[in-house]
Amino acid sequence: MSLPKITQPLFDIEIPSIGKTANFRQFLVKEEKILFVAQQTRSRKEIAKAIKQVINNCCVDEKFNVESLTVADIEYVFVQLRGISVNNIVELQFVDEDDNKTYKFEIDVADIKITKPKKKPSNDVKIANSVGIILEYPSFSVIEHYQDGMDDYDLLIMYLRKSIKSIYDEHDVYDPKTYSDEQLDEFIENFSPKVFEKIKTFFNSAPKMEYVIEYKNSLGKEKKIILTTLEDFFTLL
C-alpha cells in the first residue's frame, strides 16, 4: 500500500516588475535543505542559486521563467514565500549606535513593499557623440557571477557588463553577448566619470523592497531604520 499524497495549497504572489501574479506552493523540507546547504557555504553565489532554485521549485505556473526575474522580483517573491512557508512575522534586533542598546522589532512580511522611482531615468546612455548603450535592470542571475573577494569597483563593472542590452553607433547596433567579458570590460573602462554617474543613477532607480522601522531610543532620539535587502530582513533559515 502506497503512502498518502500530501496536497499543498497554492498562493498568488505578485511579480513586481510586471505587475502580474503567479501561483506558488509553500516551500517544503526539501527546499529548506537546499537553503541550509547553501547557507553553510557562506557563498553569496551559492545562496543566490539556492534561492532561485527554491522559487523555481515552488512555482506551479508553466510560463513562469525565473531567469527573467529582476533582483527585486526574486527578493520580494522569496520573502513572501518565506512568510507563507515558515512564518509571516520576522523578528529582528539592532544595536543603536548612539546609546549602544539592543532594540527588538517584529515585521510582518505582508507589509513589505516594492518602491519604484516616480520618474524612471533613461536607459539610453550616450558614451560619446555617436556611441551609446541601452541598459536594462540586471536580472537576479547576475549574482551568480559574483566572485568572493570582489571589491565595489569589480562588482560595478560586472553588473554593468551583464546589464548592457545593446551598444550602438552611427553605423550599427552591437550585441554584447557576442563579445567576451574582456572585450566588454575594456570598452567599459573607457567610459568617462560623467557617464558612470548616469549609469549609477539608472541602477539606483531599480525597484527594490523597502520597510521602514521608526523608534525612539533611550536618549529620546527619533531613529529610522530602512530595510531593503534579504540580508536586512532575516537569515535564510
Q: What is the pLDDT of residues 105-161, one digit of tens each?
A: 999 988 988 888 788 889 999 998 899 999 998 787 777 777 767 777 888 888 889
Q: What are phi and psi of 34, to 5 degrees?
A: -60, -45
Q: What are phi and psi of 103, to 5 degrees?
A: -120, 135
The domain boundary, picked from 58, 87, 116, lies at 87
Residue at 219 is within a domain? no
Sequence-distant (≥ 6) Cβ neighbours of residue 21 within 8 angstroms: 12, 13, 14, 15
* Residue 237 pLDDT greater than 60, yes or no: no
Q: What distance in Å separates the CA atoms of residue 81 and residue 75, rounded to the nearest whole number?
A: 10
Residue at 134 is within a domain? yes
Exposed e or buried b per residue across 82-118, where buried means at least 16 C-beta atoms within 10 angstroms of its C-beta: bbbbeeeebebeeebeeeeeebeeebebeebebeeee
Q: Are residues 198 and 145 in the same domain?
A: yes
Q: What distance in Å separates the CA atoms of residue 202 and residue 196, rounded to the nearest whole number?
A: 10
Domain count, the chain: 2
Residue at 117 is within a domain? no
What is the gyration radius of the CA atoms in the chain, in angstroms? Answer: 21
Instruction: Name the percent of the chain lying above pLDDT 70.
Output: 97
Mean pLDDT of 40-57: 87
Mean pLDDT of 18-22: 86
Q: What is the pLDDT of residues 183-236, one digit of tens each?
A: 999 999 999 999 989 998 898 888 888 899 999 999 999 999 998 887 777 654
**Three cell numbers written together for 61:** 505556473
Q: What's the predicted TM-score (pTM) here?
A: 0.80
Band of pLDDT at residue 22, cut at 50, 70 and 90: very high
Q: Are residues 61 and 14 in the same domain?
A: yes
pLDDT score at 236: 47
Domain that holds residue 25: 10-87
Residue at 209 is within a domain? no
Residue at 4 is within a domain? no
Residue at 222 is within a domain? no
* Residue 9 pLDDT greater than 70, yes or no: yes
